[in-house]
Amino acid sequence: MDISANQVRDLREKTGAGMMDCKKALLETSGNFDKAVEYLRKKGIASADKKAGRATKEGSVGSYIHGEGRVGVMVEINCETDFVARTEQFKAFVKDIAMHIAAASPKWVNASDVPPETVEQEKEIFKAQMRNEGKPEAVIDKIAEGKLKKFYQENCLMDQAFVKTPDKAVSDILKEAIMTLGENIAIRRFSRFVLGE
């Protein structure tokens, strides 16, 4: 099957993947553009997972001020090289994450950052609620685990639905940035300030 240069270019613009990867994706999917995007996303997310172990010592501290100075956010996001840290895509990613933090007010970056005593306290609260509702003991632990997952989705940055595209989690947006920029990227830490709090 012949794949035109225009098809490859369009797919590259949409996904940020390399020319040869785009051509291979189009060949693998018989020229179907949407399936080629999906193919590259699956491949890219797999390669993003491979990059996850690489050291991130460069990057940027970004800030975002909202509501005429009523809410402010500072976030440190790291990447592997200074070259990537200076790109417009990386800067835009940092700004998007800072805006998300301002809007969604997470408390922690990852679920693993939540103190164990907080996790246990939340579990006990969920279990007490289930007992008060008369749920059988056999299902209380399973329901509590489900509620804990929802707790992470509400309070942990990486598990939250991204404010600009709520059908994706922040972790998905991070993986897409890794795929586009070709380097490991890590959201290291953040601080969110609210006037008067």
All domains of the chain, ordered by start, with CATH?
Answer: 5-51 (1.10.8.10), 58-109+156-194 (3.30.479.20), 115-155 (1.10.286.20)
Residue 90 CA, chain-centre distance (Å), reads: 14
Q: What is the pLDDT of residue 186?
A: 92
Indicate yes or no: pTM above 0.95.
no
Beta bridge partners of 61: 76
Instruction: Please give the backbone phi and psi of residue 81, each rounded to the nearest 5 degrees, phi first.
Output: -130, 155
Sheet holding 185-194, edge to edge: 58-66, 71-79, 185-194
Q: How far apart are CA 126 and CA 133, in angstroms?
A: 11
Residue-wise pLDDT tens digits, 35-74: 887 887 777 655 555 566 666 678 899 999 987 889 999 9
| CA atoms in the 13 A half-sphere facing the CB of 78 | 11
Do residues 20 and 43 touch, judged by C-beta distance below 8 A? no
Picking from 53, 104, 50, the residue whose alpha carbon sits closest to that of residue 75 is 104
SS3 106: coil
Q: What is the pLDDT of residue 2?
A: 80
Give the pairing of strands 71-79 and 58-66: antiparallel
SS3 71: strand
Helix ranges (DSSP H) in 58-136: 82-85, 88-104, 116-132
pLDDT band at 127 (very low <50, low <70, confident <90, very high): confident
What average pLDDT does range 84-107 have in this prediction? 94
pLDDT at residue 160 greater than cutoff 60: yes
Q: How far apart are CA 95 and CA 83, in angstroms?
A: 18
pLDDT at residue 13 greater than cutoff 80: no
Largest CA distance in the chain: 65
Q: How far apart are CA 144 and CA 141, in angstroms?
A: 5
Q: What is the pLDDT of residue 165?
A: 92
Q: What is the pLDDT of residue 188?
A: 93
Q: How far apart are CA 119 and CA 147, in angstroms?
A: 11
